[in-house]
Amino acid sequence: MEVIVAKTAGFCFGVKRAVEQVYHQIEYGIKPIYTLGPIIHNEEVVRDLEEKGVQVLHSEDDLKKLKEGTVIIRSHGVGKSVYDQIKAQGLELVDATCPFVKKIHQIMQDQNKEGRRVVIIGDENHPEVVGIKGWGDDKTLVVKSEKQLDGLPVEKSEKLCIVSQTTFNYNKFKDIVEKFSKKGYDIITLNTICNATQERQVEAERIASQVEAMIVIGGKSSSNTRKLYEICQRECKNTYYIQTLDDLDPESVNSVRSVGITAGASTPKKIIEEVHTNVRIKRV
């Protein structure tokens, strides 16, 4: 009986850094401490932070009501107007935006200066994309699928720069870029998909193709976990999406000879270890 845990499962560099910054502020920061949205898509971690006094702001209206304290920007990042708002209110700002996302914010500004319209390949409702868009001009477009390309309001003569949401699926990104290229625009393509995601997806796919059952751990609203799940399910029909050990039906992995485990970027190591230990014990 074999249990394979993906080496790339769990917190990526950017999320780990953001969570550490919140714990650092709990110790040393100016109180009260707020995060702009939950710091990660993990209810357990958010609850622990809440118990330590960190409050989650759910909207810009929540932010506007604040009179004092520290506001932490999470790894997804936010648009320029939110930085301006925090500063205008005289609040302390701790920027935990992942440096890879920050790089895209910079690209937006640079490319607009060069006169290029930026096309973001991603989900326009995802907070990271909302933030990225908030650094571009009003001509910025967000495209999620090849289908959308036909109705785009882009002139043939326009210069474009294509970037990607960091957690976007690489193959889909490639397909959309290819379709753009065929339309004959003057295009600069910058693949801003984060390696952490790519590596996690490639490893998950490889493991899923080798095992009889696959477990994907992550928050329900985590888009990168959902993508992992889709990738694994293509390779392995017995793929299970769980948030914690409690969601795992022991029967589901009882009669298989090999199990693979991976987890989304916001899943703490502790939860991965719990699932690993449990599955392994069941085997013995």
The answer to whether residue 78 forms part of the interface with ligand F3S (CB under 6 A) is no
- Measured between alpha carbons, how far is 273 from 194 in angstroms, rounded to an integer? 25
Residue 170 Ramachandran class (φ > 0 left, ψ -120 to 50 alpha, else beta): alpha
Instruction: Report which of 139, 172, 133, 173 is spatially closest to residue 155, judged by C-alpha positions.
Output: 139
The answer to whether residue 262 forms part of the interface with ligand F3S (CB under 6 A) is no
What's the order of all strands across the beta sheet hosting 70-73? 54-57, 33-36, 70-73, 92-95
- Which window, 42-50, 93-101, 179-187, 243-251, contacts ligand F3S (CB under 6 A)? 93-101
The answer to whether residue 140 forms part of the interface with ligand F3S (CB under 6 A) is no
The angle formed by the CA atoms of residues 96, 11 and 20, to the nearest 5 degrees, is 40
Strands 159-164 and 186-189, sheet pairing: parallel
**Shortest Å, Cβ 16 to ligand F3S:** 8
Active-site option among 27, 128, 199, 273: 128
Residue 5 Ramachandran class (φ > 0 left, ψ -120 to 50 alpha, else beta): beta
Position closest to ligand F3S via CB: 14
**Residue from 4, 5, 14, 275 binding ligand F3S (CB under 6 A):** 14
Catalytic-residue membership of 273:
no
Query: N- to C-terminal Cα distance for the chain?
Result: 9
**Residue from 82, 86, 101, 217 binding ligand F3S (CB under 6 A):** 101
Cα–Cα distances (Å) from 194 to 38, 41, 98, 249, 273, in that order, read 21, 18, 10, 33, 25
- Which window, 118-126, 192-200, 230-238, 252-260, contacts ligand F3S (CB under 6 A)? 192-200
The answer to whether residue 75 forms part of the interface with ligand F3S (CB under 6 A) is yes
The answer to whether residue 196 forms part of the interface with ligand F3S (CB under 6 A) is yes
- Which window, 154-162, 194-202, 228-236, 250-258, contacts ligand F3S (CB under 6 A)? 194-202
Peptide bond between residue 268 and the one before it cis (omega within 30 degrees of 0) = no
- Which window, 2-10, 11-19, 181-189, 238-246, contacts ligand F3S (CB under 6 A)? 11-19
**Residue from 86, 107, 265, 275 binding ligand F3S (CB under 6 A):** 265
Active site residues: 128
Q: Which residues bind ligand F3S (CB under 6 A)?
A: 12-15, 75, 98, 100-101, 166-167, 194, 196-197, 265
